[in-house]
Amino acid sequence: MKRGRVAYAGAIHGCEPHERGLRLDDGRVLAETEVVWLTPVELGTVFAVGLNYADHARELASAKPAEPLLFLKGFGAVAGHRATTRRPSGVEFMHYECELAVVIGRTARHVPRDQALPYVGGYSVANDYAIRDYLENYYRPNLRVKNRDGCTLLGPWLVDATDVADPQNLALRTAVNGKITQRGNTRDMIFGVAELIEYLSSFMTLAPGDVILTGTPQGVVNVNAGDEVVTEIDGIGRLVNTLVDDAAFGLAPAR
């Protein structure tokens, strides 16, 4: 089952996929472009995992981590399907990151990895942009790298966990302006979904609506204002985003 959330005609609606776009819970069928897409769940805490694919760590000339490298996302950093994301003027390298997003479905505390997957409510697609110019180091990215307004996209759908046979065998890909630039598979994660839940729940309580962004494989390239970036995971969904410049946000060039 796939479920989403959108704003339409002054209200928030649940929805599901339809051959013509989406069907609202009240039965109306709309095109994807007729609505404003929200995140598919009301967000709790958003965790992001850095360097969780060995090939991506090598791509960044970084050592393979011995334990998960985690940081948090502010609420304003996350936007939905078909949102626009600002690429500040003056930066040299801004790149996408296609990631499997894990949404916690029930309270998890001190959960061993062999019992962890039943705590997942569902899965979604994320695109977590980074600006390399602002990076202090790959182990502790500063706020300007990973917590910019609208720098992380999530959606369009939440796929029920029971419909995903194996979260560690899902193909990922990214296309920039229709050209495939990134391919990978969740089997290549250093720390799998169950391990991440075990690790996090060992020292803090995970709650329904919490989201774990599980990292990206190699293949990140610079993107520019005007580019359409599509991140896709087999069986989970296709997340569309467009980059825009400062002027689109009514801002003077960044300094």
Q: Coil, helix or strand for 194?
A: helix
Residue 140 pLDDT > 70: no
What the block records as the tokens of 118 is: 């039943």
**pLDDT tens-digit series, residues 171-204:** 999 999 999 999 999 999 999 999 999 999 999 9
Average pLDDT for residues 2-19, to the nearest whole number? 98
pLDDT for 51 equals 86
Cα(180)–Cα(129) distance, integer angstroms: 17
Residue 128 pLDDT > 80: yes
What is the enclosing helix (H) or strand (E) of 172?
A: strand 171-176
Name 223's bridge partners.
Answer: none
Residue 149 pLDDT > 70: yes
Closest to 241 measured CA to CA, from 32, 85, 125: 85
**pLDDT tens-digit series, residues 28-64:** 999 999 999 999 999 999 999 988 998 755 665 566 7
pLDDT for 141 equals 65
Strands 211-213 and 46-50, by their bridges, are parallel
Cα(59)–Cα(182) distance, integer angstroms: 12
**pLDDT tens-digit series, residues 65-121:** 789 999 999 999 999 999 999 999 999 999 999 999 999 999 999 999 999 999 999
**pLDDT tens-digit series, residues 158-172:** 999 999 999 999 999
Half-sphere exposure (Cβ direction) of 213: Cα atoms closer than 13 Å = 30
Q: Coil, helix or strand for 74?
A: coil
Cα(124)–Cα(104) distance, integer angstroms: 11
Cα(252)–Cα(60) distance, integer angstroms: 31
Residues in the chain: 255
Structural domains in the chain plus CATH codes: 1-38 (2.30.30.370), 41-247 (3.90.850.10)
What are the start-end ranges of the H helices in 151-254? 193-201
DSSP code for 212: E
Cα(13)–Cα(142) distance, integer angstroms: 35
- Stated pTM of the model: 0.94
What the block records as the tokens of 81 is: 């399907």
DSSP code for 16: E
What is the enclosing helix (H) or strand (E) of 34?
A: none
